[in-house]
Structure 1
Amino acid sequence: MSASASHAQTVVKPRWRIKPEDRATFFFLLPIMVVFVVLTLVPLLSSIYYSLTDYNGFNPEYSIVGLKNYATIFTEAELLHSLGFTLLFAISTTILITVLALPLAVTLNKAFYGRSVARSLFFFLGVPAQAIIGLIWRQIFSPMKSGIINQVLDLFTIPPIPWTSDDHWAQFCVIFVGVWMGTGWHATLYLAYMQAIPADLYEQSLIDGANSRQQFFHITLPQLVPCVVVSTFLIMTGNLKIYDLPYTLTAGGPRNATMTITQAILLRGTGQSQYGVGSALAVVFTIVCLLLVTVQQLVAGAVQRRFE
């Protein structure tokens, strides 16, 4: 055997090679990665840096203050309350919308006169902007005697209710409108997913003598688990950053009872020129969101594995 042939046999091919499909995937993801870095990662790192300073947003001269801004967050009741109400709103609306949207989707999936109109009406509830919805419901929930609901109550000699002028009633109003807006949209999402459930499963269950309740819990609900996971994730992430609805409905009042964390960040960072405190509040809120969404995904994954 010649030396050249022996050398050819001993050449070791590289173990890895970039496949054409991997290269194409990289170039498809590259714009998304650039947008993520520019619009998310860079602002987040900037917020972390400014949260350690006394920067007021205008004066280019500032100094490092360490964790002083974080100490301010955990010692001021107003900021802690805004974080607490945001979590209350996000968690309660996620639970209530899911509980109401599932049976609503099952109902809209049945054949009845005017079904298409009913589907459109429920879907339309989530179409207008949250700011517009907040302004409309602000008139409906007006604590004055001239408020729409209080006028209806007056017909039954019921005294007016201080809807948006009482702490607890105001929180109820914001959560109620949030659920009212989201239920129809997510019911439509469930309804679209229900169209993919094979009809043979229901026909076989009818032969076996299953009633509507048994069909829902043993066929519909297990088949909808992936959709429930997506729906709850969308509700949770969307309502954690809520701003328009509470601001236009109650302006964060009364006595900051319905102030959300996003409103508090803007108020401190821009309105009161405490950019460092606002940045620290944004960092804390980001960490809380990551923890909450992680827990939500773990619970959703456990439920999904349970129905597999």
Structure 2
Amino acid sequence: MENLTSVRFLLPLLAVYIIIVLIPFLQSIVFSLTDYDGYDFANAKFVGIANYQAIFQDQTLLAGLGFTLLYTVATTVLITAIALPLAVTLNRKFFGRNFARSLFFFFSVPSMAVLGLVWQYIFSPLGTGAVNTFLGKLGVSPVPWLSDPALAKFCVIFIAVWAQVGWHATLYLAYLQAIPADLYEQASVDGATRGQQFVHITLPQMVPAMGVSIFMLLTGGLKVYDLPFTLTTGGPGNATYTVTQSIIVTGIGSGRYGIGSALGVMFFLCCVVLVALQQIVTSLIEKRLS
């Protein structure tokens, strides 16, 4: 009887999942095998894997995939490398600690779309940009922050790291505060240094938090759209073009729902593989450190 009640509670959630997630995904698979234009599916022709082959022949789509992977890996590595030591620092007692915690968390409050518009003004390659205006006062020529492909990629990644590191540091801080102080006191009595305490006490206890943080960074990075679009609209050229923007432009903007759906299916499979690898690696690290 208890199991039957549990099933009844799960049925509405299952129905919502089927309607919102499963059915659209299955539709995308069907669309990806046709030349569907978004209007008349009855007249759509079956093209097999032609849409998937077209993805690897389209340099714009490949550029979107390349930058998306670069953005995902770079932001995940940098934010993790900065947020964990920052959380350890913010967990110590010092004057103005609460203010420092609030300050770092405040950076993550505005949406990425808003930050893209604000930083577009700051990094404007014209003479009116805040950074170039400051450099001009120092006698330095204007830097093409958003019109040079390499610099544009750097700016997008820099802003993403700047905006998210405080949030992930707060996540780590919550886990740090749950570690019993007795463990550190006993380690100090045994003569362990701060570095040894971090490696043998803090790090093993932080693996679950790192798993959550990295999972969120990977999934958020793979589906990124708002920041690159509002900052550079995917340019210059296709330097900051993303997979999500490719799906929107190809499927909705150009009416090529078949290729757009194929790109979405491939993107979903890539996400599944990367997240699965992350979960496996996290589990192995947790077992080794435990």
TM-score (normalised: structure 2): 0.96
Match of 2:149 among 138, 162, 167: 167
Residue 258 (structure 1) aligns with: 240
Aligned to 1:100: 82
The corresponding residue for 1:184 is: 166
Match of 1:296 among 261, 278, 282: 278
Where does 1:64-75 land on structure 2 (aligned, <5 Å)? 64-75=46-57
CA distance in 1, matches of 2:11, 2:164: 33
Letter in 2 for 1:246: P
Q: Does 1:155 find its partner at 2:137?
A: yes
Alpha-carbon distance between aligned partners in 2 of 1:117 and 1:102, rounded to the nearest angstrom: 18
| Counterpart amino acid of residue 27 in structure 1 | R
Residue 178 (structure 1) shift: 1.0
* Greater C-alpha Rg: 1
Indicate the residue corresponding to 2:37 in structure 1. 56
Query: Is residue 239 of structure 2 the alignment partner of residue 219 of structure 1?
Result: no
Alpha-carbon separation, structure 2, partners of 1:225 and 1:243: 29
Report the equivalent of 2:98.
116
Q: Which aligned pairs between 1:19-58 and structure 2 lie closer than 5 A?
A: 20=2, 22-58=3-39
Q: What percent of counterpart residues are identical?
A: 54
Partner of 1:14: none
Q: CA deviation at 1:270?
A: 0.9
Listed one character per residue, the Cα deviations across residues 122-166 of structure 1 (whole Å, up to 9, x for unaligned) are: 112112111101111111111112211112222322222111101
Structure-to-structure mapping, 1:198-209, within 5 angstroms: 198-209=180-191
Separation (CA, whole Å) in 2 of partners of 1:81 and 1:298: 28
Provide the rounded CA distance (Å) in 1 between the counterparts of 2:124 and 2:61.
26
Q: Secondary structure at the match of 1:37?
A: helix
- Of stretches 60-69 and 236-245 in structure 1, the one that deviates more from structure 2 is 60-69
Give the Cα separation in 2 of the matches to 1:64 and 1:155: 62
Shift of 1:117: 1.4
Unaligned runs of 5+ in 2: none
Amino acid at match of 2:14: M
Q: CA RMSD in A?
A: 1.3
AA in 2 matched with 1:177: I
Task: Using the TM superposition, give the Cα deviation of residue 88 of structure 1 relative to its aligned residue in structure 2, in angstroms.
Answer: 1.1
Match of 1:243 among 215, 225, 228: 225
Alignment: residue pair count: 289
Which whole-Å CA distance do the structure 1 matches of 2:193 and 2:239 have between them? 46
Mapped to 2, the partners of 1:245 and 1:167 lie a distance apart of 16
Q: TM-score, normalised by structure 1?
A: 0.91
Structure 2: distance between partners of 1:138 and 1:290: 33
CA distance in structure 2 between the partners assigned to 1:210 and 1:291 by the alignment: 40
Q: What CA distance in whole angstroms lies between the structure 1 residues aligned with 2:104 and 2:8? A: 40
Correspondence for 1:268 among 250, 256, 263: 250
Aligned-residue offset at 1:79: 0.5
Aligned equivalents of 1:136, 1:76: Cα separation in 2: 32
Secondary structure of the equivalent of 1:157? coil
Name the SS for the 1:201 alignment partner. Answer: helix
Write the distance in 2 (CA, Å) between the matches of 1:24 and 1:100: 46
Distance 2:156 2:17 in 1: 32
2:177 corresponds, among 190, 195, 198, to 195
Q: Distance in 2 between matches of 1:249 and 1:239?
A: 16
AA matched with 2:157: I
SS in 1 for 2:268: helix
Q: CA deviation at 1:180?
A: 0.9
Offset at residue 89 of structure 1 (A) = 0.8
Q: CA–CA distance in 2 between the matches of 1:63 and 1:203?
A: 71
Segments ≥4 residues shifted beyond 4 Å: none
Q: Distance in 2 between matches of 1:33 and 1:240?
A: 26
Structure 1 residue matching 2:25: 3-state secondary structure: helix
Offset at 1:58?
A: 2.0
- Post-superposition offset of 1:211: 2.5
Counterparts of 1:126 and 1:25, CA distance in 2: 38
Separation of aligned partners in 2, 1:216 and 1:156: 42
Separation of aligned partners in 2, 1:210 and 1:158: 49
